Structure 1
Amino acid sequence: MKREFLANLLFLLFINLVIKPTYLFGVERVVQNVVTENLYGIYFSILNLTLILNIITDFGIQNYNTRYIAQHPHLLPKYFSAFLLTKGVLSLVYALVLLLVGLITGYLWEYPGILLGMTLCQVLNSMVMYLRSNIAGLGLYWIDSLVSVIDRLVVILFLGIPLWIGYYEERNFDIQWFVNVQLLGYAVGAIVSFAIVRYHAGPIVFRFNRLRILAIVKAGLPFTLTFILMSMYTRVDAPLMERMLVDGREQTNIYASAFRLLEASNVIGYLFASLLMPMYARLLKVGGDVKPLAHLGLQIIWSGAISLVVCTIVFRENIMTSLYTNGSIYSANILGWVIVSFIPVSGVYIFSTLLVAQGSLRELNRVYVWGVLLNLGLNLWLIPLHKALGAAEANCITQILIFAAQLYLCNKLMGVGITWIQAMKFVAMAILSVGVASLSWFYLMPTLNLWAFLVALAGCGIIAFVVRLINIREVLGLLKTF
């Protein structure tokens, strides 16, 4: 299982580290720079609102289905049509709820195109995620990897290239164009993923069975609560900021520019979770030991996370002023707080996935309830005091405490945690990485700029091998068996 995990992880990283960062920094960042600040802040607030409510269209089906199909792949043909019909019904409910919220908040009257467009985007995205859960559950990880980047690839081709060649330089860029191209990308992704699952599931016959739909919704309910709570403590800050502050739209825009780098980093964490969920589920079903797989995953992801976080903090001002026209020391400090949270967030991807695969949702949801209350309280306290910086501080504190609680649960319920040897290696890597990154910044900046950051990142990566967080012999041994 470790060999399978490593092989698919390398392929996933290659695909996603080419496409998704290109989208985030080559398209989304450029869009933010060419539209007015306030308008992008509105877009970011609406996006977070649609993501918070997106659980209605998913209702835990994705995680439940990934776990279920991974353990019983032969049942896909039997239940696929019922799950698909359930998704359609839930998507309709989601759209109606979001329109109601749009009426209450005023977004539907002020920005109907953005709200309606993002609603359809999330409906299609949720459908793609469900279809991908079937692909991953069948063990077709490399196909799932390719499907995962289709939507971003479409945006790059149809919007990114025109932006790069200066097509919009003499035109007032309308953010609605950005929404529409995203919608096209999700539609293409949905069509392709449906065709793949349809091939493996066989003929589809839709029969509206109310009891079966209710049974699916009931089965996904524990996963639903998990998703709702996670969305609330990770996405509530932007809408709060936009509504609480006089300059809320401007602050939301600044926060979004820093948060984008965390989103880019989270691509890696999500890849780990998407691979580990079906593997954990299969191991647990046959009574296998999940500890080696969890330890390997944590060591690999934290080797990258520590390197990235340390280098980003050291170079934070240079990063923000280089990427954004409104970059400043203030936005750089926000980035510093935001990026620190990537270390606990990446750990959450390892341990929360294990808790979900093991079925410990009640315990996990208790952690998230406290996380939501803590995050809401911190945001209400810190946003009026420090504005966007306060939201970043609240996010970081919340993520650290949630990771600590999940680590405690995994250790208590399954005996899976962080060993003292691992902990010492992580600390040693962090200390050495600070030294390497600082030396690179001091001697290579500002003449080399980007290269100074890349040199620092590479140096920190080498440290992971030096302190043996990543065992080169083990990696080479696994690769030789492919």
Structure 2
Amino acid sequence: MQRPAPGLSRFFGSISLAVLLNLLVKPGWVVLENLVQDRLGHAAFGLLAALSSLTVVALALADLGLTQSGIQRTAAEPDFFTEHFPTLHALRGLLNVVALAALLALGWALGYRGAQLGLLAGIGGALLLTQYGLFLRGVFQGRQHFRTDAVLSVLEKLVLLGAVLALVAVPGALRLPSYVGARVAAAAFTIVLLYGLLRRFFGPVRARLSRPASRALLRQSLPFALITVLYGLNERIDMVMLERLASPREAGYYAGAYRWMDAAMMYAWTVLPLFFARFAGARPAELRQLLGLGQRVLAVPLLFVVAFVLFRGEVVFWQFSHSSGAEVARMSSCLKILFLNVLVHAFFAIYSTLLTSTGYARAVSTVVAGSVLLNIGLNLWLMPRYGALAAAWNTLVCVGFVSAGYVWLLARRTAIPVPGRVLARLLLAFGLLCGAWYVLRQGVYLSWYIETGLMAAVFGLIVLGTGLIRQSELKQLTMSNER
């Protein structure tokens, strides 16, 4: 059997820590957001979700791929932080100001006025700070300080969780403006702490704007910039178009379901940046092994989550006591469609990470651009009539489109073969899990938590039986955690 690459067991441990911390914080945040939506109402929360999504799309201008480019170069060039980061830092600060102005102009053009523009400014400021925090965390990822980055990845959510709980506890305090204010305060606190940690680990965090150096950095980050903008459009434009083309209430239904998909995908967004940094610094001989590992690490937990939602997804809306049965049923339908997206991402998202980190960012951008155009066309056609359900189905079609593109690029552009055996085992494991769950539900009626516990045990046996996880790898993981 091939021995793990040097440092791979430690990398395993870093992934475990990042996932564990997000599992401790993210579910609490999702439950709290459910409560906030139930208190504010679907229409008010739909407006908030649309403004947040518009912010994510517009504020891609504040990054222009500098975060991913910085991670890649920090991992590959030991002197990058001291020699080039001051220019990168100053450039990023300037782009923050430009992006916020562009966001407000875009909001005005789309018809938002008065208090809505004020909310947009607050949300934009909060997400700018959050995105800026991701930029600063890139230094830790590039220097392979994955455990520190794992702790930082949940810090803002933990602070915000406490702030919103305080608002919920005070009668009448939870309103849209106070909720947005809490988000700004939590993001600002996190930035201050990040600066302190960067100074302690790597020395002074300087900012020095140089036109020649800035032009060079922007040219190098341009492929990543295009991907950042296109991914933002591809994932978030649905919410904005739904609120504008259908209604804020339909956007609220979609947000209630999308939140759970976003929570599940947080696992992927925690793991994939770690593999991005690992891919960028790996030797060619390591890439094939890392891809096979990443495919399994990403997919196995998500397969079980998808199966749970398909069979028992309605239980996640237990907090919506102010919603009608028809409203909960609509959110449940959206949820199950959206989790088919999670299934597709579980199989293929790692290919995008590999391609982007090894020089194929421009090709990936072309695929995502095609998906954006397809998504906008489908939204304009179907959203006015079908609302939130159209948004969910359109998202699934587009995810399938980009995933097929990743497979084609990996097979045609790289020397790394598509791990067909791993994919076959993952499909087999998911099919066996769904079959066993269906049989169990036909025979007896159990409480959802007992049923889920039994199926988790069954899935563990399926994973071992199909060879998706080997005992030697479990030993490596245990050893890394003990260290």
TM-score scaled to structure 1, two decimals? 0.92
When the two structures are aligned, how many residues end up with a matched partner? 472
Give deviations 1:87-113, integer Å, cap 9, x for gaps: 110000001101111222232424233
Residues 322, 100 of structure 1: alpha-carbon distance in 2 compared, 3 angstrom cutoff:
closer
Q: Does 1:79 align with 2:84?
A: yes
Give deviations 1:148-193, integer Å, cap 9, x for gaps: 1111110112222553xxx24x426302222111111111211122
1:289 aligns with: 286
Q: Secondary structure at the match of 1:139?
A: coil
Report matched runs for 1:323-472 at 5 Å.
325-326=322-323, 327-442=327-442, 445=445, 448-472=447-471
Q: Distance in 2 between matches of 1:472 and 1:200?
A: 36
1:232 aligns with: 233
Query: Residue 16 of structure 1: which of 18, 22, 25 is its match?
Result: 22
Q: Is the 8 A contact 1:300 1:470 kept in 2?
A: no
Q: Is the 8 A contact 1:114 1:179 kept in 2?
A: yes
* Corresponding letter in the other structure for 2:230: L
Q: Distance in 1 between matches of 2:476 and 2:44?
A: 52
Q: Is the 8 A contact 2:38 2:319 kept in 1?
A: no
Per mean C-alpha deviation after superposition, the further-off stretch among 297-306 and 409-418 is 409-418
Q: Distance in 1 between matches of 2:321 and 2:267?
A: 23
1:311 Cα offset (Å):
1.3
Q: Distance in 1 between matches of 2:213 and 2:142?
A: 21
* Corresponding letter in the other structure for 1:407: V
Q: Secondary structure at the match of 2:333?
A: helix
2:295 aligns with: 298
Q: Distance in 1 between matches of 2:200 and 2:75?
A: 17
1:476 aligns with: 475
* Corresponding letter in the other structure for 1:476: K
Q: Secondary structure at the match of 2:286?
A: coil
1:135 aligns with: 140
Q: Distance in 2 between matches of 1:36 and 1:93?
A: 33
* Corresponding letter in the other structure for 1:399: V
Q: Distance in 2 between matches of 1:124 and 1:420?
A: 41
Q: Distance in 2 between matches of 1:325 and 1:139?
A: 47
Give deviations 1:288-328, integer Å, cap 9, x for gaps: 33011111111122111211111101112333355664352
Residues 477, 204 of structure 1: alpha-carbon distance in 2 compared, 3 angstrom cutoff:
closer
Give deviations 1:390-416, integer Å, cap 9, x for gaps: 110000111112112102211222243
2:193 aligns with: 192
Give deviations 1:256-313, integer Å, cap 9, x for gaps: 0110111001111011111101110111xx4333011111111122111211111101
Q: Does 1:122 align with 2:127?
A: yes
Give deviations 1:330-358, integer Å, cap 9, x for gaps: 22111111011012223443111111111
Residues 206, 433 of structure 1: alpha-carbon distance in 2 compared, 3 angstrom cutoff:
closer
Q: Distance in 1 between matches of 2:82 and 2:161?
A: 35
Q: Distance in 2 between matches of 1:199 and 1:321?
A: 45
Q: Is the 8 A contact 1:341 1:396 kept in 2?
A: yes
Q: Distance in 2 between matches of 1:215 and 1:354?
A: 24
Q: Does 1:307 align with 2:310?
A: no
Q: Distance in 1 between matches of 2:120 and 2:390?
A: 27
Q: Distance in 1 between matches of 2:91 and 2:216?
A: 10
1:44 Cα offset (Å):
0.3
Residues 418, 162 of structure 1: alpha-carbon distance in 2 compared, 3 angstrom cutoff:
same
* Corresponding letter in the other structure for 1:120: G
1:270 aligns with: 269
Q: Distance in 1 between matches of 2:33 and 2:209?
A: 40
Give deviations 1:413-459, integer Å, cap 9, x for gaps: 224354443233122212211133334545665x6234433443443
Q: Distance in 1 between matches of 2:21 and 2:206?
A: 35
Residues 259, 322 of structure 1: alpha-carbon distance in 2 compared, 3 angstrom cutoff:
same
RMSD over aligned Cα atoms: 2.0
Q: Distance in 2 between matches of 1:430 and 1:287?
A: 31
Structure 1 gap segments, 5+ residues each? none
Report matched runs for 1:201-212 at 5 Å.
201-212=202-213
1:244 aligns with: 245
Residues 157, 204 of structure 1: alpha-carbon distance in 2 compared, 3 angstrom cutoff:
closer
Per mean C-alpha deviation after superposition, the further-off stretch among 457-466 and 384-393 is 457-466
Residues 439, 171 of structure 1: alpha-carbon distance in 2 compared, 3 angstrom cutoff:
farther
Residues 444, 235 of structure 1: alpha-carbon distance in 2 compared, 3 angstrom cutoff:
farther
Moved over 6 A (4+): none
Q: Is the 8 A contact 2:9 2:476 kept in 1?
A: no
Residues 261, 205 of structure 1: alpha-carbon distance in 2 compared, 3 angstrom cutoff:
closer
Q: Secondary structure at the match of 1:341?
A: helix
Q: Secondary structure at the match of 2:467?
A: coil
* Corresponding letter in the other structure for 1:273: L
Per mean C-alpha deviation after superposition, the further-off stretch among 466-475 and 332-341 is 466-475
Q: Does 1:103 align with 2:108?
A: yes
Q: Distance in 1 between matches of 2:359 and 2:68?
A: 11
Residues 479, 252 of structure 1: alpha-carbon distance in 2 compared, 3 angstrom cutoff:
same
Q: Distance in 2 between matches of 1:74 and 1:159?
A: 41
